[in-house]
Amino acid sequence: MAVARLLESKHAVTGLVAVALLVTALNYGGYGNQYTSELGLVTWTVLLVGLGTTVLPRSKVNRAGIAAIVLILLLMGLTALSITWAPDTGRAFSQTILLLGVAGVFLLAIFTSRKGEGRAWLWGLTIGLGLIVLLAALSRYLPLIGNDAELSRNLGPIMSGRLAWPLGYWNAMGTVAVMFILLVLWHGAHDPRERVRRIAIGVIPAAFAVLYLTASRGGLAALSIGLIMLIAFGPDRRRLASSALLALLAGLPVVLLVSNLGAVAHADDGTTATLQGFLFMGASLLACYLTWRYLPAATQKAKQFHPERRTVLISVSVLAVLLFGLLIASNPIDRVSEFTAIPFGGVDRSEDQAFAAEHLLSANGNGRWQLWDAALEAFGTQPLHGIGAGGFEFYFREFGDYWMKTVDTHSLPFMILSELGLLGFLAFLGFIGVVIRQAVVRLRSSSPNNSLDQTQRNEMVAFLTVLAVGSFSLLFDWTGQFPVVFGTLMVCAAMLVGPAYSRGVTEEEKTWSPVRLTVTAGLILLAGAAIFFANRSYQAASSLEASRSATSDGDGTLAVRKAEQAVSALPWSGETWARLASVHQDLGDDGDALAAATVATEKSPKDEDVWLLRANIESGLGLNTSWANSMVTALLLNPNSAYWNDQRVHTMLSRADGNPDYGLEYVFNLAAQKTGQADQAESPSD
């Protein structure tokens, strides 16, 4: 009851949402098995306690909300079921834990929301996302904050200084910046307090500079879509449009400045970066102040502006002609060719110009076209149920057109289509369709029973806009793997389809009908299972991390014990067995290492890295035939990898120097024979 009374406070809702987003962001946006396991544990534990004590749900959930819950649980169930046919049981289990977190956030938002509290959730998202954007800005104002410099050194040209901290991924950071800009723009146009409106619009120039530093082309496109939606579907369009124009114009000089501050743009961490960071901060503060200062005058001018219909039509026509001319001048055929080309080599950047500017003007798809094509091919192999959760990476390694260090479809719909087939894709589309349809029905309804006022309709437009731009990001990037992003989207979906904007009375009746009792019991059982498996996943992830740390500290005994704990938590995961094999090998226990590596290859038969580990152990034991077979298996699983390209070069150079590497030559010949590209292969010499 104390929890129930706390949740009745709108300020508590705002604070909890904001803190949840900030804490998640500080853990790299919640990315990784350990954090998604923690998310699943927290959300489903709260659901279990709330349902068991009848505190949840706080309001009656209508049919659309129930349909959305069923569909997202169906998608989660299909992901779990795909463990039985996925190429890697451990990867499929990890994806299931991720979906547990997604579903948990959605259910928690629906069950804890109440009619009239939509604005509190909106403020919670705004403050939480704003704190993340503030941290990102501080990492360039004060280079000692954040780790973009280290991340850029590790990733090299693929990052080249793009703003990623605190999330660790620039496109995810760009998505967060866009959602925050649109939310504060909405508050600046619709909040009844002038002071709040001026502050909200005043922070946009700094947030716009953060978006620029992420060099997220999808983020800029999403921002354009969001601006159009806010202006098209909300009232007081002149105030909103004038506020947006003023803030963006104030932000342009800051962007132009930072694009010429090489140390800031490239995430350097020296003295020059510190001085340039202070200059960047000063320019941002000045732009924010000027926006705050002149916002009332700009909105007043907008109210007095009443152009004739003919003037508007002429202006729109001229703008359309200019845009069409720019499109033709950009040579769209070459742009399409550039987007669909296979990416080769690194990024050629100039030290006196930010990579952000170069990337934003580029049409390079960075291999997305090939990834999407491979996803469709994978779908074609198993159109009904897909190749299994987590299976796309292995499919692309084996059949893809080029090599990527880390493989993701860079598109949530394509990933679901390839890994879960038509069944998963229809569940996904059904969930999206239910949310959008319910939002449209509530916005357009003019029934006397509709108790939504204009303020609540405006709030729904804000949630719908954030959901739209976030979903747009999921179409072209792997931001859906970040709880800080998908959590925001799930909250927006829950607000649109849940009790927050329901028509009529939505207070929950505490009468226990047989249907209600059955549904509640089922959800409690599901919560118990979710907590159990999320806990196992967390134990494995934390034990693996502890094992790696122990190895770094030189404590081999502890490393083995922690690896064994990981295996005990997830015995079906090839990753845990591979870690155990690796630590045994480090200690010289080659027999135990080979036994663990053999199990790892059985659990993860499509993972090239596991086969290479096994081959390395077999080589140390002098098992040449087994070594060759393991090497051939690894080669066929990822023939385009940088490792095998290096081995090919090594083999040719060794032959040219008169000291041929017969073992590797045998591996390549045997692999060619198995693929029908060679007629015979000679065994390696002992």
Model's pTM, two decimal places?
A: 0.90
**Domain residue limits at 293:** 113-362
- Indicate whether 1 belongs to any domain: no
Q: Mind listing the pLDDT tens digit for each residue in 617-653?
A: 999 999 999 999 999 999 999 998 888 989 999 899 9
Q: Mind listing the pLDDT tens digit for each residue in 546-556?
A: 999 999 999 99
- Indicate whether 4 belongs to any domain: no
**Confidence (pLDDT) at 45:** 96
Give the lowest-confidence range in 115-119, 155-159, 390-394, 457-461: 155-159
| Residue 372 and residue 357 share a domain | no
pLDDT at 407 over 90: no
Three-state secondary structure string covering 281-330: HHHHHHHHHHHHHHHHHHHHHHHHCCCCHHHHHHHHHHHHHHHHHHHHHC
Which CATH number covers residue 566? 1.25.40.10
Separation CA 183–CA 226 (nearest Å):
10
Phi, psi of 507 (to 5 degrees): -65, 135
| Residue 626 and residue 609 share a domain | yes
| Mean pLDDT, range 36-56, rounded to an integer | 94
| Mean pLDDT, range 482-502, rounded to an integer | 94
pLDDT at 16 over 60: yes
| Mean pLDDT, range 181-187, rounded to an integer | 94
Q: Mind listing the pLDDT tens digit for each residue in 649-675?
A: 989 998 888 888 888 999 999 988 888
- Indicate whether 6 belongs to any domain: no
pLDDT at 166 over 50: yes
DSSP symbols for 122-175: HHHHHHHHHHHHHHHHHHHHSTTSSSHHHHHHHHGGGTTT---TTTT-HHHHHH
The helix, strand and coil proportions of the chain, stated in percent and rounded to the nearest 5, come to 75, 0, 25
pLDDT at 160 over 80: no
Are 291 and 186 contacting, i.e. CB atoms less than 8 angstroms apart? no
Domain boundary among 326, 344, 362: 362
**Confidence (pLDDT) at 346:** 42
- Indicate whether 220 belongs to any domain: yes
| Mean pLDDT, range 592-616, rounded to an integer | 95
Separation CA 18–CA 34 (nearest Å):
21
- Indicate whether 508 belongs to any domain: no
- Indicate whether 25 belongs to any domain: no
| Residue 441 and residue 294 share a domain | no
| Residue 533 and residue 407 share a domain | no
| Mean pLDDT, range 494-502, rounded to an integer | 92
Separation CA 139–CA 148 (nearest Å):
8
| Residue 349 and residue 273 share a domain | yes
| Residue 107 and residue 120 share a domain | no
| Residue 549 and residue 432 share a domain | no
**Confidence (pLDDT) at 3:** 52
Separation CA 10–CA 116 (nearest Å):
9
Alpha carbon distance, N-terminus to C-terminus of the chain: 74
Q: How many domains does the chain have?
A: 3
Dihedral of CA 401/406/409/411: which sign? negative
**Confidence (pLDDT) at 639:** 92
Q: In the structure, what pLDDT confidence band is assigned to residue 181 with cuts at 50, 70 and 90?
A: very high
**Confidence (pLDDT) at 22:** 92
Separation CA 459–CA 219 (nearest Å):
22
Q: Mind listing the pLDDT tens digit for each residue in 529-571?
A: 999 999 999 999 999 999 999 999 999 999 999 999 999 999 9
**Confidence (pLDDT) at 183:** 96
Domain boundary among 362, 382, 406: 362
pLDDT at 312 over 70: no
Give the lowest-confidence range in 292-301, 417-426, 583-592: 292-301
- Indicate whether 24 belongs to any domain: no
| Residue 590 and residue 443 share a domain | no
Domain boundary among 473, 503, 533: 503
| Residue 453 and residue 487 share a domain | yes
3-state secondary structure of 263: helix
571: β partners: none
- Indicate whether 647 belongs to any domain: yes
Q: In the structure, what pLDDT confidence band is assigned to residue 348 with cuts at 50, 70 and 90?
A: very low
| Residue 184 and residue 103 share a domain | no
| Residue 415 and residue 321 share a domain | no
| Residue 197 and residue 127 share a domain | yes
